[in-house]
Amino acid sequence: MQVIFISKRTLFLSLIMIILLIMGVCINSYFLNKSVSTVNPIYIGNTQEKAVALMFNVDWGEEILPGLLETLREKDVKVTFFISGRFAKKFPEITLKIAEDGHEIGNHGYSHPHPNKLSLEQNQKEINETEKVLQELKINSAKVFAAPYGEHGTTVLQAAEALGYKTIMWTLDTIDWQDPSPEVILERILPKADNGSLILMHPKNCTLQALPGLINSLQKEGYLFKKVTEIINCS
């Protein structure tokens, strides 16, 4: 039987090589993970100021929007409308009126699909096509994106981030698409309203009826009304 002798020096060098190899793998893994940033949606604005933001997701409701705009003019309140590309293309006059009244226009995708079922490239196409429609209307839209149905899977968030958009969720939801009474809408929002609240609504008749009381009550509580980009402190 042949006996192989390994010198202490060889053993020592081998151990050093193994340790260095392990350290290299660990360091590489660390920096690789650091380079992949986690993209998170925004649920609330600046909590240091007594202000809220009203947000309207728009893919329908063309018959309600003139009344909403009139109420907002009367109350001298500016809000953010997240508009789908197909709505802006079908109703350019209403979309332009929203912008002319000084409201902020964000991106709501083009065809109101379920974003979580789309690829990253398909989600980017939805955002880009809406941006193109708004540009054709010469509207300077904000780089904020409200995904249809509030879906915010990884590909949705990454698609928006890659195009320079911040994905906006909400703090408080009126759930007005279920056609509750105006009183129910107020009950859902007023007791929970707080600094930085992002309040989600849609162009529904119940919302139109609830809006004056909602604004009045929040103003009595000392809240200011800001656009989304203002309350999350971005341009």
What pLDDT, on the 0 to 100 scale, is given for residue 10? 62
Which helix (DSSP H) or strand (DSSP E) does residue 145 occupy?
A: strand 144-145
The model's pTM is 0.84
What pLDDT, on the 0 to 100 scale, is given for residue 54? 98
Measure the CA–CA gap between 157 and 54, rounded to whole angstroms.
22
Convert the pLDDT of each residue in 86-136 to its tens digit. Answer: 999 999 999 999 999 999 999 999 999 999 999 999 999 999 999 999 999
The set of residues, in sequence order, having a beta carbon less than 8 Å from that of 144 and lying 6+ positions away, is: 80, 82, 104, 106, 107, 165, 166, 167, 168, 228, 229, 232, 234
Instruction: Count other Cβ atoms within 10 Å, centred on residue 144.
Output: 24
What pLDDT, on the 0 to 100 scale, is given for residue 9? 62
Q: What residues in the chain have per-residue pLDDT under 50?
A: 1-3, 5, 25, 29-36, 235
What pLDDT, on the 0 to 100 scale, is given for residue 15? 61
DSSP 101-121: TT-EEEE--SS---GGGS-HH
